[in-house]
Amino acid sequence: MKVSRRAALSEDERLDALGRLLTDTEIPMRLRVAGVIVLLYAQPVSRIVRLSIDDVIRDGETVLLRLGEPASPVPDPVAALLLEHIANRDNMNTATNSASRRLFPGRRAGQPAGPDHLSALLNEVGVPTAAARGAAIRQQLLELPAPVVADALGYHDKTTSRLRNETGGTWSRYTPGDHAKSPTGRVPQGTSEVGSPPVPRA
């Protein structure tokens, strides 16, 4: 998975966009959820539209999103939004789509939403997908070893290693071990509600 060379959002811009998606009920639910997945987990829209509701895992009170291995924890406010979206997905009223398990069903039976169309809509609500994704992956690499980020978010390890070097991350030396618990649930600086989850594989 390649990460665009387009300039990433600043961390303040990323957190501002994240806060807006979590609180602005005027923004359509599917755009709020898709945008949050980009901003937290650095996922490309082409991959987001392929997610199914089976990729959202409930383990007691915990909600996980399967993007890589292990599945990434979903912070509470995001989990609530994600579960509400699943219960009220768009394009589910037609007979052909009534049993769809797509997280973002398209208008055609069995097909997901179109990635280009969804990306354009996200740009319209203030989430430039390439820049948002770049900001999310770089923030993860400042806090976690590149191999952990690659596994959790579905990125190629060469991609995360290169980006880590570009961002000046401190994880240039890394001892394998149980680092899987840090990927989500952290509350990013500057926000009291949103946890910063692990990053996907690209």
C-alpha distance from residue 15 to each of 10, 19, 145 (Å): 9, 6, 22
Could you state, in order of their start, the residue ranges of all structural domains in the chain?
A: 11-167
Reading the block at residue 12, the tokens are 């303040």
So what's the pLDDT on residue 150?
A: 77
Q: What pTM does this model have?
A: 0.75
What does the pLDDT look like over 130-157, one tens digit per residue?
999 888 888 888 877 777 777 778 776 6
Q: Most confidently modeled of 67-76, 106-115, 116-125?
A: 116-125
So what's the pLDDT on residue 200?
A: 43
Tell me how far apart the alpha carbons of residues 179 and 160 are, in angstroms, rounded to a whole number: 16
What does the pLDDT look like over 37-86, one tens digit per residue?
999 998 999 999 999 999 999 988 899 999 988 899 999 999 999 999 99
So what's the pLDDT on residue 86?
A: 92
Identify residue 107 by its one-letter amino acid code: R
So what's the pLDDT on residue 92?
A: 61
Is residue 187 pLDDT above 60, yes or no? no
Is residue 29 within 8 A of residue 85, CB to CB? The reply is yes
So what's the pLDDT on residue 167?
A: 57
Tell me how far apart the alpha carbons of residues 100 and 54 are, in angstroms, rounded to a whole number: 11
- The average confidence (pLDDT) of the chain is 77
Task: Assign domain 11-167 one CATH number from 2.30.30.40, 1.10.443.10, 1.10.760.10, 1.10.580.10.
Answer: 1.10.443.10
φ/ψ (deg, to 5) at 114:
-75, 125
So what's the pLDDT on residue 11?
A: 92
Is residue 190 pLDDT above 50, yes or no? no
So what's the pLDDT on residue 41?
A: 92
